[in-house]
Structure 1
Amino acid sequence: MKKYILITGASSGIGYEMAQLLAAKKFNLILVARSNHILQKMQMELSSKYNIEVKYFQVDLADVQATQEFYEVIKVHELQVSHLVNNAGFGDYGSFLQTSLEKELDMVHLNISSLMILTKLFAQEMADKKSGRIMNVASLLSFIPFPYYSVYSATKAFVLAFSETIAAELEDSGVVVTTLCPGTVETPFHTQEMRKTNAMNTNRPMPAKDVAEAGVKLLLYGKGKKVVGFNNWFISNLPRVTPSVIMMKIKKKLASPKL
Protein backbone atom coordinates (compact mmCIF):
# COMPACT_ATOMS: atom_id res chain seq x y z
CA MET A 1 0.00 0.00 0.00
CA LYS A 2 1.31 3.46 -0.92
CA LYS A 3 2.22 5.77 1.92
CA TYR A 4 1.44 9.48 2.04
CA ILE A 5 2.52 12.61 3.88
CA LEU A 6 -0.57 14.59 4.87
CA ILE A 7 -0.17 18.38 5.08
CA THR A 8 -2.90 20.67 6.40
CA GLY A 9 -2.90 24.32 5.40
CA ALA A 10 -1.15 23.24 2.21
CA SER A 11 -2.35 25.97 -0.14
CA SER A 12 -0.06 28.78 1.07
CA GLY A 13 2.90 29.72 3.25
CA ILE A 14 4.84 27.02 5.09
CA GLY A 15 2.48 24.23 4.06
CA TYR A 16 2.74 25.13 0.38
CA GLU A 17 6.53 25.28 0.48
CA MET A 18 6.77 21.99 2.39
CA ALA A 19 4.61 20.34 -0.26
CA GLN A 20 6.99 21.54 -2.97
CA LEU A 21 10.06 20.28 -1.12
CA LEU A 22 8.57 16.91 -0.19
CA ALA A 23 7.28 16.35 -3.72
CA ALA A 24 10.80 16.94 -5.02
CA LYS A 25 11.93 14.18 -2.65
CA LYS A 26 9.36 11.86 -4.28
CA PHE A 27 6.97 11.55 -1.34
CA ASN A 28 3.31 10.97 -2.13
CA LEU A 29 1.15 13.74 -0.69
CA ILE A 30 -2.30 14.42 0.71
CA LEU A 31 -2.97 18.17 0.62
CA VAL A 32 -5.68 19.76 2.75
CA ALA A 33 -6.92 23.35 2.74
CA ARG A 34 -10.00 25.45 2.00
CA SER A 35 -8.82 26.72 -1.42
CA ASN A 36 -10.00 24.06 -3.84
CA HIS A 37 -8.65 25.71 -7.00
CA ILE A 38 -5.14 26.10 -5.52
CA LEU A 39 -5.12 22.49 -4.33
CA GLN A 40 -6.25 21.28 -7.74
CA LYS A 41 -3.47 23.26 -9.44
CA MET A 42 -0.89 21.90 -6.98
CA GLN A 43 -2.10 18.36 -7.56
CA MET A 44 -1.71 18.67 -11.32
CA GLU A 45 1.69 20.36 -11.19
CA LEU A 46 3.34 18.20 -8.52
CA SER A 47 2.07 14.86 -9.78
CA SER A 48 3.15 15.68 -13.33
CA LYS A 49 6.54 17.19 -12.46
CA TYR A 50 7.66 14.58 -9.92
CA ASN A 51 5.66 11.51 -10.95
CA ILE A 52 4.13 11.06 -7.51
CA GLU A 53 0.62 10.48 -6.17
CA VAL A 54 -1.03 13.68 -4.94
CA LYS A 55 -4.48 13.64 -3.37
CA TYR A 56 -6.27 16.77 -2.21
CA PHE A 57 -9.27 17.52 -0.03
CA GLN A 58 -11.07 20.80 0.45
CA VAL A 59 -11.84 20.91 4.18
CA ASP A 60 -12.57 23.73 6.61
CA LEU A 61 -10.67 22.44 9.64
CA ALA A 62 -12.11 25.21 11.79
CA ASP A 63 -15.22 23.00 11.72
CA VAL A 64 -14.54 20.23 14.25
CA GLN A 65 -17.19 17.93 12.78
CA ALA A 66 -15.74 18.41 9.29
CA THR A 67 -12.31 17.45 10.66
CA GLN A 68 -13.61 14.18 12.09
CA GLU A 69 -15.49 13.45 8.86
CA PHE A 70 -12.31 14.13 6.88
CA TYR A 71 -10.46 11.45 8.84
CA GLU A 72 -13.23 8.98 7.99
CA VAL A 73 -12.90 9.90 4.31
CA ILE A 74 -9.18 9.06 4.48
CA LYS A 75 -10.11 5.67 5.89
CA VAL A 76 -12.76 5.06 3.22
CA HIS A 77 -10.18 5.80 0.52
CA GLU A 78 -7.73 3.45 2.30
CA LEU A 79 -4.94 6.02 2.24
CA GLN A 80 -2.06 5.18 4.57
CA VAL A 81 -0.65 8.29 6.27
CA SER A 82 2.96 7.72 7.36
CA HIS A 83 3.62 11.39 8.20
CA LEU A 84 1.23 14.09 9.40
CA VAL A 85 1.96 17.83 9.29
CA ASN A 86 -0.53 19.84 11.35
CA ASN A 87 0.27 23.19 9.79
CA ALA A 88 -3.17 24.80 9.34
CA GLY A 89 -3.80 27.76 11.60
CA PHE A 90 -4.45 31.47 11.72
CA GLY A 91 -4.08 34.37 14.12
CA ASP A 92 -5.49 37.78 14.84
CA TYR A 93 -4.11 41.05 16.17
CA GLY A 94 -5.77 43.67 18.35
CA SER A 95 -7.17 44.49 21.76
CA PHE A 96 -8.98 41.49 23.22
CA LEU A 97 -11.95 43.71 24.11
CA GLN A 98 -12.37 44.71 20.47
CA THR A 99 -11.51 41.58 18.50
CA SER A 100 -14.17 39.25 17.11
CA LEU A 101 -15.31 36.48 19.46
CA GLU A 102 -16.54 34.42 16.51
CA LYS A 103 -13.14 34.66 14.82
CA GLU A 104 -11.37 33.72 18.05
CA LEU A 105 -13.57 30.66 18.53
CA ASP A 106 -12.76 29.56 14.98
CA MET A 107 -9.08 30.10 15.82
CA VAL A 108 -9.36 27.83 18.86
CA HIS A 109 -11.18 25.18 16.83
CA LEU A 110 -8.57 25.25 14.06
CA ASN A 111 -5.34 25.81 16.01
CA ILE A 112 -6.24 23.51 18.91
CA SER A 113 -9.27 21.25 18.46
CA SER A 114 -8.69 20.03 14.93
CA LEU A 115 -4.95 19.64 15.51
CA MET A 116 -5.72 17.54 18.59
CA ILE A 117 -8.29 15.43 16.71
CA LEU A 118 -5.97 14.65 13.80
CA THR A 119 -3.04 13.96 16.11
CA LYS A 120 -5.07 11.52 18.21
CA LEU A 121 -6.67 9.64 15.33
CA PHE A 122 -3.56 9.30 13.21
CA ALA A 123 -1.29 8.62 16.21
CA GLN A 124 -3.53 5.73 17.25
CA GLU A 125 -3.27 4.30 13.76
CA MET A 126 0.51 4.83 13.64
CA ALA A 127 0.98 3.24 17.05
CA ASP A 128 -0.83 0.11 15.83
CA LYS A 129 1.69 -0.04 12.97
CA LYS A 130 4.58 0.93 15.31
CA SER A 131 5.66 3.55 12.80
CA GLY A 132 4.85 7.16 11.96
CA ARG A 133 5.83 10.76 12.41
CA ILE A 134 3.72 13.79 13.33
CA MET A 135 4.91 17.40 13.21
CA ASN A 136 2.78 20.12 14.77
CA VAL A 137 3.47 23.74 13.86
CA ALA A 138 3.61 26.00 16.92
CA SER A 139 5.24 29.43 17.09
CA LEU A 140 7.84 31.62 18.74
CA LEU A 141 4.85 32.96 20.70
CA SER A 142 4.50 29.53 22.30
CA PHE A 143 7.43 30.63 24.49
CA ILE A 144 6.70 34.36 24.73
CA PRO A 145 2.96 35.12 24.55
CA PHE A 146 2.39 38.65 23.24
CA PRO A 147 -0.29 41.15 24.23
CA TYR A 148 -2.65 41.92 21.32
CA TYR A 149 -2.12 38.33 20.14
CA SER A 150 -3.69 36.93 23.28
CA VAL A 151 -5.81 34.08 21.90
CA TYR A 152 -3.32 33.18 19.17
CA SER A 153 -0.45 33.06 21.69
CA ALA A 154 -2.53 30.82 23.95
CA THR A 155 -3.36 28.41 21.12
CA LYS A 156 0.29 28.10 20.16
CA ALA A 157 1.35 27.60 23.79
CA PHE A 158 -1.13 24.71 23.81
CA VAL A 159 0.37 23.23 20.63
CA LEU A 160 3.87 23.18 22.12
CA ALA A 161 2.82 21.79 25.51
CA PHE A 162 0.53 19.21 23.91
CA SER A 163 3.13 18.08 21.39
CA GLU A 164 5.94 17.71 23.93
CA THR A 165 3.82 15.70 26.35
CA ILE A 166 2.42 13.44 23.62
CA ALA A 167 5.97 12.91 22.32
CA ALA A 168 6.97 11.70 25.79
CA GLU A 169 3.97 9.36 26.00
CA LEU A 170 4.79 7.84 22.62
CA GLU A 171 8.45 7.16 23.29
CA ASP A 172 9.35 3.60 22.21
CA SER A 173 6.04 3.27 20.34
CA GLY A 174 7.55 3.87 16.91
CA VAL A 175 5.66 7.17 16.64
CA VAL A 176 7.68 10.39 16.75
CA VAL A 177 5.99 13.73 17.52
CA THR A 178 7.91 16.94 16.84
CA THR A 179 7.14 20.65 17.03
CA LEU A 180 8.19 23.34 14.57
CA CYS A 181 8.39 26.81 16.14
CA PRO A 182 8.87 29.56 13.56
CA GLY A 183 9.02 33.26 14.33
CA THR A 184 7.48 35.73 11.93
CA VAL A 185 7.26 34.27 8.43
CA GLU A 186 6.59 36.08 5.17
CA THR A 187 3.10 34.75 4.44
CA PRO A 188 -0.44 36.13 3.92
CA PHE A 189 -0.91 35.49 7.67
CA HIS A 190 0.22 39.03 8.48
CA THR A 191 -2.25 41.93 8.32
CA GLN A 192 -1.23 45.53 7.73
CA GLU A 193 -1.74 46.19 11.46
CA MET A 194 0.71 43.40 12.32
CA ARG A 195 3.27 44.73 9.86
CA LYS A 196 3.24 48.13 11.59
CA THR A 197 4.26 46.76 14.99
CA ASN A 198 7.67 47.28 16.56
CA ALA A 199 8.20 43.50 16.61
CA MET A 200 7.95 43.10 12.85
CA ASN A 201 10.19 46.09 12.29
CA THR A 202 12.92 44.75 14.58
CA ASN A 203 12.65 41.04 13.69
CA ARG A 204 11.98 40.82 9.98
CA PRO A 205 9.88 37.89 8.67
CA MET A 206 11.77 34.87 7.33
CA PRO A 207 11.00 33.50 3.86
CA ALA A 208 8.44 30.70 4.07
CA LYS A 209 10.73 28.42 2.06
CA ASP A 210 13.52 28.72 4.67
CA VAL A 211 11.10 27.72 7.42
CA ALA A 212 9.73 24.90 5.26
CA GLU A 213 13.24 23.51 4.74
CA ALA A 214 13.72 23.35 8.51
CA GLY A 215 10.29 21.77 8.80
CA VAL A 216 11.04 19.06 6.27
CA LYS A 217 14.24 18.08 8.10
CA LEU A 218 12.42 17.99 11.43
CA LEU A 219 9.51 15.99 10.01
CA LEU A 220 11.66 13.37 8.32
CA TYR A 221 14.61 13.03 10.68
CA GLY A 222 14.29 15.17 13.80
CA LYS A 223 13.12 14.88 17.37
CA GLY A 224 11.77 17.34 19.92
CA LYS A 225 11.17 20.97 19.00
CA LYS A 226 12.88 23.26 16.54
CA VAL A 227 12.93 27.06 16.83
CA VAL A 228 13.77 28.33 13.36
CA GLY A 229 16.53 30.96 13.16
CA PHE A 230 19.15 32.00 15.70
CA ASN A 231 17.42 35.31 16.55
CA ASN A 232 14.18 33.47 17.29
CA TRP A 233 16.02 30.87 19.37
CA PHE A 234 17.64 33.66 21.38
CA ILE A 235 14.31 35.45 21.88
CA SER A 236 12.60 32.21 22.95
CA ASN A 237 15.12 31.86 25.79
CA LEU A 238 14.79 35.42 27.13
CA PRO A 239 12.05 34.49 29.64
CA ARG A 240 14.57 32.21 31.39
CA VAL A 241 16.78 35.15 32.34
CA THR A 242 14.32 38.08 32.41
CA PRO A 243 11.79 38.70 35.23
CA SER A 244 8.25 38.09 34.00
CA VAL A 245 7.02 41.63 34.80
CA ILE A 246 9.83 43.20 32.79
CA MET A 247 9.41 40.63 30.01
CA MET A 248 5.72 41.45 29.61
CA LYS A 249 6.48 45.17 29.37
CA ILE A 250 9.02 44.45 26.64
CA LYS A 251 6.53 42.27 24.75
CA LYS A 252 3.76 44.87 25.01
CA LYS A 253 6.13 47.48 23.58
CA LEU A 254 7.12 45.16 20.74
CA ALA A 255 3.50 44.29 19.95
CA SER A 256 2.48 47.95 19.83
CA PRO A 257 2.37 49.96 16.59
CA LYS A 258 5.63 51.62 15.61
CA LEU A 259 5.42 55.36 16.24
Structure 2
Amino acid sequence: MEEYIVLTGASSGIGYEMAVQLAAQKKNLILVARNEAKLKQIQTELIAEHGILVEIMVKDLSKAQAAIALYKDIKIKGFQVNALVNNAGVGNYGSFIETSLEEELDMIELNISSLVALTKLFVRDMVAKGSGRIMNVASLLSFLPFPYYSVYSATKTFVLAFSETLAAELEGTGVIVTALCPGPTETGFNTDTMKTTNVLKANKPISPKIVAKDGVKLLLNGKGKKLVGFMNWFLSNLPRFTPDGIMMKIKKNLASQQK
Protein backbone atom coordinates (compact mmCIF):
# COMPACT_ATOMS: atom_id res chain seq x y z
CA MET A 1 0.00 0.00 0.00
CA GLU A 2 1.23 3.50 -0.87
CA GLU A 3 2.55 5.61 2.01
CA TYR A 4 2.18 9.36 2.44
CA ILE A 5 3.85 12.25 4.21
CA VAL A 6 1.40 14.68 5.84
CA LEU A 7 2.60 18.27 5.52
CA THR A 8 0.72 21.13 7.19
CA GLY A 9 1.08 24.77 6.18
CA ALA A 10 1.84 23.52 2.68
CA SER A 11 0.49 26.36 0.55
CA SER A 12 3.42 28.78 0.89
CA GLY A 13 6.84 29.47 2.37
CA ILE A 14 8.81 26.63 3.96
CA GLY A 15 5.89 24.22 3.64
CA TYR A 16 5.55 24.74 -0.10
CA GLU A 17 9.30 24.40 -0.67
CA MET A 18 9.35 21.19 1.37
CA ALA A 19 6.49 19.82 -0.72
CA VAL A 20 8.41 20.55 -3.92
CA GLN A 21 11.62 18.95 -2.63
CA LEU A 22 9.86 15.89 -1.21
CA ALA A 23 7.98 15.44 -4.47
CA ALA A 24 11.30 15.52 -6.34
CA GLN A 25 12.31 12.55 -4.17
CA LYS A 26 9.14 10.75 -5.25
CA LYS A 27 7.42 11.00 -1.87
CA ASN A 28 3.62 10.87 -1.90
CA LEU A 29 2.06 13.81 -0.07
CA ILE A 30 -1.02 14.88 1.83
CA LEU A 31 -0.91 18.68 1.75
CA VAL A 32 -2.83 20.65 4.35
CA ALA A 33 -3.64 24.38 4.40
CA ARG A 34 -6.58 26.79 4.40
CA ASN A 35 -6.24 27.98 0.80
CA GLU A 36 -8.01 25.43 -1.39
CA ALA A 37 -7.21 27.14 -4.68
CA LYS A 38 -3.51 27.26 -3.88
CA LEU A 39 -3.50 23.63 -2.73
CA LYS A 40 -5.16 22.49 -5.96
CA GLN A 41 -2.59 24.44 -7.97
CA ILE A 42 0.29 22.81 -6.09
CA GLN A 43 -1.33 19.38 -6.40
CA THR A 44 -1.59 19.72 -10.18
CA GLU A 45 1.97 21.01 -10.44
CA LEU A 46 3.55 18.23 -8.40
CA ILE A 47 1.60 15.39 -10.01
CA ALA A 48 2.44 16.63 -13.51
CA GLU A 49 6.13 17.16 -12.77
CA HIS A 50 6.91 14.16 -10.57
CA GLY A 51 4.19 11.56 -11.16
CA ILE A 52 3.54 11.09 -7.45
CA LEU A 53 0.30 10.82 -5.46
CA VAL A 54 -0.80 14.13 -3.95
CA GLU A 55 -3.89 14.53 -1.80
CA ILE A 56 -5.08 17.86 -0.42
CA MET A 57 -6.98 18.61 2.80
CA VAL A 58 -8.43 22.06 3.43
CA LYS A 59 -8.30 22.75 7.17
CA ASP A 60 -7.93 25.78 9.43
CA LEU A 61 -5.69 24.41 12.16
CA SER A 62 -6.08 27.50 14.33
CA LYS A 63 -8.71 25.31 16.03
CA ALA A 64 -7.54 22.01 17.44
CA GLN A 65 -10.81 20.35 16.49
CA ALA A 66 -9.79 20.83 12.86
CA ALA A 67 -6.61 18.87 13.55
CA ILE A 68 -8.64 16.02 15.00
CA ALA A 69 -10.97 16.16 11.99
CA LEU A 70 -7.95 16.04 9.66
CA TYR A 71 -6.71 12.85 11.27
CA LYS A 72 -10.17 11.28 11.06
CA ASP A 73 -10.53 12.23 7.37
CA ILE A 74 -7.17 10.64 6.57
CA LYS A 75 -8.13 7.45 8.43
CA ILE A 76 -11.52 7.26 6.72
CA LYS A 77 -9.85 7.55 3.31
CA GLY A 78 -7.46 4.76 4.27
CA PHE A 79 -4.24 6.65 3.59
CA GLN A 80 -1.14 5.13 5.20
CA VAL A 81 0.97 7.85 6.83
CA ASN A 82 4.65 7.19 7.46
CA ALA A 83 5.69 10.77 8.28
CA LEU A 84 4.16 13.98 9.62
CA VAL A 85 5.50 17.51 9.29
CA ASN A 86 3.89 19.98 11.70
CA ASN A 87 4.87 23.11 9.80
CA ALA A 88 1.70 25.23 10.07
CA GLY A 89 2.25 28.16 12.37
CA VAL A 90 1.73 31.86 12.79
CA GLY A 91 3.34 34.69 14.74
CA ASN A 92 2.79 38.30 15.62
CA TYR A 93 4.89 41.24 16.73
CA GLY A 94 4.26 44.10 19.12
CA SER A 95 3.91 45.19 22.72
CA PHE A 96 1.97 42.53 24.63
CA ILE A 97 -0.41 45.10 26.14
CA GLU A 98 -1.37 46.24 22.63
CA THR A 99 -1.49 43.02 20.61
CA SER A 100 -4.75 41.18 19.92
CA LEU A 101 -5.80 38.63 22.55
CA GLU A 102 -7.93 36.79 19.97
CA GLU A 103 -4.97 36.49 17.59
CA GLU A 104 -2.73 35.23 20.36
CA LEU A 105 -5.21 32.60 21.52
CA ASP A 106 -5.54 31.41 17.91
CA MET A 107 -1.74 31.34 17.70
CA ILE A 108 -1.51 29.13 20.78
CA GLU A 109 -4.18 26.85 19.34
CA LEU A 110 -2.35 26.53 16.00
CA ASN A 111 1.27 26.48 17.14
CA ILE A 112 0.69 24.23 20.16
CA SER A 113 -2.74 22.58 20.47
CA SER A 114 -3.12 21.40 16.87
CA LEU A 115 0.51 20.30 16.75
CA VAL A 116 0.07 18.23 19.90
CA ALA A 117 -3.21 16.74 18.65
CA LEU A 118 -1.78 15.67 15.29
CA THR A 119 1.36 14.31 16.91
CA LYS A 120 -0.56 12.26 19.49
CA LEU A 121 -2.99 10.82 16.97
CA PHE A 122 -0.44 9.88 14.30
CA VAL A 123 2.30 8.75 16.68
CA ARG A 124 0.05 6.07 18.20
CA ASP A 125 -0.39 4.53 14.75
CA MET A 126 3.33 4.80 14.05
CA VAL A 127 4.32 3.11 17.31
CA ALA A 128 1.83 0.32 16.64
CA LYS A 129 3.44 -0.17 13.22
CA GLY A 130 6.97 0.11 14.59
CA SER A 131 8.13 2.94 12.33
CA GLY A 132 7.48 6.56 11.44
CA ARG A 133 8.92 10.05 11.52
CA ILE A 134 7.54 13.32 12.88
CA MET A 135 9.18 16.70 12.37
CA ASN A 136 7.94 19.76 14.25
CA VAL A 137 8.94 23.21 13.04
CA ALA A 138 10.21 25.23 15.98
CA SER A 139 12.33 28.39 15.71
CA LEU A 140 15.51 30.22 16.63
CA LEU A 141 13.27 31.88 19.23
CA SER A 142 12.85 28.48 20.90
CA PHE A 143 16.37 29.12 22.23
CA LEU A 144 16.28 32.90 22.24
CA PRO A 145 12.83 34.23 23.23
CA PHE A 146 12.47 37.86 22.17
CA PRO A 147 10.51 40.73 23.71
CA TYR A 148 7.70 41.89 21.40
CA TYR A 149 7.36 38.28 20.24
CA SER A 150 6.43 37.10 23.73
CA VAL A 151 3.58 34.70 22.96
CA TYR A 152 5.12 33.46 19.71
CA SER A 153 8.46 32.82 21.45
CA ALA A 154 6.66 30.89 24.17
CA THR A 155 4.83 28.70 21.65
CA LYS A 156 8.04 27.83 19.85
CA THR A 157 9.85 27.15 23.12
CA PHE A 158 7.06 24.67 23.83
CA VAL A 159 7.46 23.04 20.41
CA LEU A 160 11.16 22.39 20.96
CA ALA A 161 10.74 21.09 24.52
CA PHE A 162 7.83 18.89 23.45
CA SER A 163 9.76 17.48 20.49
CA GLU A 164 12.90 16.68 22.47
CA THR A 165 11.10 15.05 25.38
CA LEU A 166 8.80 13.03 23.13
CA ALA A 167 11.79 11.85 21.11
CA ALA A 168 13.33 10.52 24.33
CA GLU A 169 10.09 8.75 25.29
CA LEU A 170 9.92 7.04 21.91
CA GLU A 171 13.46 5.67 21.81
CA GLY A 172 13.37 2.05 20.75
CA THR A 173 9.91 2.22 19.18
CA GLY A 174 11.09 2.87 15.63
CA VAL A 175 9.50 6.33 15.65
CA ILE A 176 11.79 9.36 15.32
CA VAL A 177 10.73 12.88 16.40
CA THR A 178 12.82 15.86 15.30
CA ALA A 179 12.66 19.66 15.47
CA LEU A 180 13.61 22.07 12.69
CA CYS A 181 14.62 25.49 14.02
CA PRO A 182 14.79 28.20 11.34
CA GLY A 183 15.75 31.79 11.97
CA PRO A 184 14.48 34.71 9.86
CA THR A 185 13.21 33.37 6.54
CA GLU A 186 11.96 35.13 3.42
CA THR A 187 8.26 34.28 3.79
CA GLY A 188 4.95 35.98 4.37
CA PHE A 189 5.52 35.47 8.09
CA ASN A 190 7.49 38.72 8.18
CA THR A 191 5.11 41.66 8.40
CA ASP A 192 6.10 45.18 7.32
CA THR A 193 6.59 46.08 10.98
CA MET A 194 8.83 43.07 11.60
CA LYS A 195 10.97 44.09 8.62
CA THR A 196 11.86 47.36 10.37
CA THR A 197 13.37 45.65 13.43
CA ASN A 198 17.09 45.60 14.15
CA VAL A 199 17.23 41.80 14.12
CA LEU A 200 16.17 41.54 10.47
CA LYS A 201 18.81 44.12 9.62
CA ALA A 202 21.53 42.27 11.54
CA ASN A 203 20.43 38.75 10.59
CA LYS A 204 19.14 38.79 7.03
CA PRO A 205 16.29 36.41 6.22
CA ILE A 206 17.32 33.40 4.15
CA SER A 207 15.50 31.65 1.33
CA PRO A 208 12.78 29.18 2.33
CA LYS A 209 14.35 26.78 -0.18
CA ILE A 210 17.46 26.58 2.02
CA VAL A 211 15.37 25.99 5.15
CA ALA A 212 13.31 23.37 3.32
CA LYS A 213 16.45 21.55 2.16
CA ASP A 214 17.63 21.16 5.75
CA GLY A 215 14.10 20.22 6.77
CA VAL A 216 13.80 17.45 4.20
CA LYS A 217 17.16 15.99 5.28
CA LEU A 218 16.14 16.10 8.93
CA LEU A 219 12.72 14.59 8.26
CA LEU A 220 13.93 11.70 6.15
CA ASN A 221 17.23 10.80 7.79
CA GLY A 222 18.03 13.00 10.78
CA LYS A 223 17.67 12.94 14.53
CA GLY A 224 17.41 15.60 17.23
CA LYS A 225 17.15 19.28 16.35
CA LYS A 226 18.55 21.34 13.51
CA LEU A 227 19.27 25.06 13.56
CA VAL A 228 19.42 26.41 10.03
CA GLY A 229 22.46 28.57 9.27
CA PHE A 230 25.65 29.41 11.18
CA MET A 231 24.45 32.83 12.38
CA ASN A 232 21.33 31.30 13.93
CA TRP A 233 23.43 28.59 15.59
CA PHE A 234 25.75 31.29 16.98
CA LEU A 235 22.86 33.43 18.27
CA SER A 236 21.21 30.42 19.89
CA ASN A 237 24.36 29.83 21.93
CA LEU A 238 24.81 33.41 23.15
CA PRO A 239 22.85 32.81 26.40
CA ARG A 240 25.37 30.15 27.43
CA PHE A 241 28.06 32.73 28.07
CA THR A 242 26.10 36.00 28.45
CA PRO A 243 24.52 37.03 31.78
CA ASP A 244 20.71 36.95 31.72
CA GLY A 245 20.25 40.67 32.29
CA ILE A 246 22.63 41.64 29.53
CA MET A 247 21.20 38.99 27.20
CA MET A 248 17.67 40.33 27.60
CA LYS A 249 18.85 43.87 26.84
CA ILE A 250 20.53 42.60 23.68
CA LYS A 251 17.38 40.76 22.63
CA LYS A 252 15.15 43.75 23.35
CA ASN A 253 17.38 45.95 21.23
CA LEU A 254 17.38 43.43 18.39
CA ALA A 255 13.61 43.08 18.52
CA SER A 256 13.07 46.85 18.59
CA GLN A 257 12.32 48.85 15.46
CA GLN A 258 15.16 50.69 13.80
CA LYS A 259 15.47 54.34 14.75
The answer to whether TM tops 0.5 is yes
TM-score, with structure 1 as normaliser: 0.99
Aligned to 1:101: 101
Deviation at 1:69, TM superposition (A): 1.1
Distance in 1 between the 2:77 and 2:66 partners? 16
Deviation at 1:161, TM superposition (A): 0.2
Deviating above 4 A after TM superposition, structure 1's stretches of 4 or more consecutive aligned residues are: none
Deviation at 1:63, TM superposition (A): 1.2
Aligned to 1:134: 134
Q: What root-mean-square deviation, in Å, do the aligned CA atoms of Structure 1 and Structure 2 show?
A: 0.4
1:129-168 superposed matches below 5 A: 129-168=129-168
Aligned to 1:16: 16
Distance in 1 between the 2:62 and 2:16 partners? 19
Distance in 1 between the 2:110 and 2:218 partners? 22
Distance in 2 between the 1:62 and 1:123 partners? 21
3-state SS of paired residue (2:180): strand
TM-score, with structure 2 as normaliser: 0.99
1:225-244 superposed matches below 5 A: 225-244=225-244
Q: Counterpart of 1:128 in structure 2: which amino acid?
A: A
Structure 1 residues 90-120: Cα deviation after superposition (integer angstroms, max 9, x where no partner): 0000000000000000000000000000011
What 5-or-longer segments of structure 2 have no aligned partner? none
Distance in 2 between the 1:70 and 1:21 partners? 23
Aligned to 1:49: 49
Aligned to 1:205: 205
Aligned to 1:114: 114
Aligned to 1:36: 36
Distance in 2 between the 1:227 and 1:61 partners? 25
Aligned to 2:74: 74
Deviation at 1:48, TM superposition (A): 1.4
Deviation at 1:206, TM superposition (A): 0.6
Deviation at 1:65, TM superposition (A): 1.1
Aligned to 1:92: 92
Distance in 1 between the 2:5 and 2:71 partners? 14
Deviation at 1:72, TM superposition (A): 0.4
3-state SS of paired residue (2:178): strand
How many residues are matched?
A: 259
Q: Counterpart of 1:126 in structure 2: which amino acid?
A: M
Aligned to 1:184: 184
Structure 1 residues 227-259: Cα deviation after superposition (integer angstroms, max 9, x where no partner): 000000010001111111110000000000011
Matched, 1:59 2:54: no
Q: Counterpart of 2:12 in structure 1: which amino acid?
A: S
Q: Counterpart of 2:202 in structure 1: which amino acid?
A: T
What 5-or-longer segments of structure 1 have no aligned partner? none
Distance in 1 between the 2:177 and 2:140 partners? 18
Q: Counterpart of 2:123 in structure 1: which amino acid?
A: A
3-state SS of paired residue (2:55): strand
Distance in 1 between the 2:34 and 2:244 partners? 39
Structure 1 residues 13-72: Cα deviation after superposition (integer angstroms, max 9, x where no partner): 000000000001100000000010000001111011111000001100011111111110
3-state SS of paired residue (2:193): helix
